[in-house]
Amino acid sequence: MKVIIIEDESFAALRLRKMINEYDPEIEVVAELESVAESVAWFRSNKEPDLIFLDIHLEDDLSFAIFEQVQISCPVIFTTAFDEYAIKAFKLKSIDYLLKPIVQEELAAALKKYREMTSTVKQGSDLESLYQLLVKKEPAYRERFSVSFGAKIKTISIDQIAYFASEEGITFAYLTDKGSYPVDISLDKLMEEVDPGKYFRINRKILLGIIGIADIHVYPKSRLKLDLKPKFHEEVFVSLDKVTSFKKWLDR
pLDDT at 117 over 70: no
What's the pLDDT at 86?
56
CB 110 within 8 A of CB 96: yes
CATH assignment, 144-251: 2.40.50.1020
Angle at 164 between CA 149 and CA 181, to 5 degrees: 10
What's 140's DSSP letter? -
pLDDT at 91 over 70: no
pLDDT at 119 over 60: no
The per-residue pLDDT for range 61-71, each reduced to its tens digit, is 888 889 889 98
| C-alpha to C-alpha distance for 30 and 20, rounded to whole angstroms | 12
For residue 126, give the amino acid letter.
D
pLDDT above 70 as % of the chain: 83
What's the pLDDT at 93?
42
Between 80 and 25, name the one with better pLDDT: 25
pLDDT above 90 as % of the chain: 48
What's the pLDDT at 137?
47
pTM: predicted TM-score of the whole model, two decimal places = 0.48
The answer to whether the Cα torsion of 237, 243, 247, 249 is positive or negative is: negative
Instruction: Name the pairing type of β-strands 224-228 and 236-237.
Output: antiparallel
What's the pLDDT at 88?
52
The per-residue pLDDT for range 174-209, each reduced to its tens digit, is 999 878 999 988 999 898 889 988 999 999 999 999
Architecture of the domain defined by 2-134 = 3-Layer(aba) Sandwich (3.40)
- 4 strand-pairing partners: 31, 52
Question: ω before 101 within 30° of 0 (cis)?
Answer: yes
Q: For residue 53, what is the enclosing H or E element?
A: strand 51-55
What's the pLDDT at 83?
54
Identify the three-state secondary structure at position 208. Answer: strand
Alpha-carbon dihedral angle through residues 138, 35, 67, 93, given to the nearest 10 degrees: -60
What's 100's DSSP letter? S
What's the pLDDT at 179?
87
pLDDT at 75 over 60: yes
Tell me the domain boundaries of the chain.
Answer: 2-134, 144-251
What's the pLDDT at 126?
59
| C-alpha to C-alpha distance for 17 and 28, rounded to whole angstroms | 9
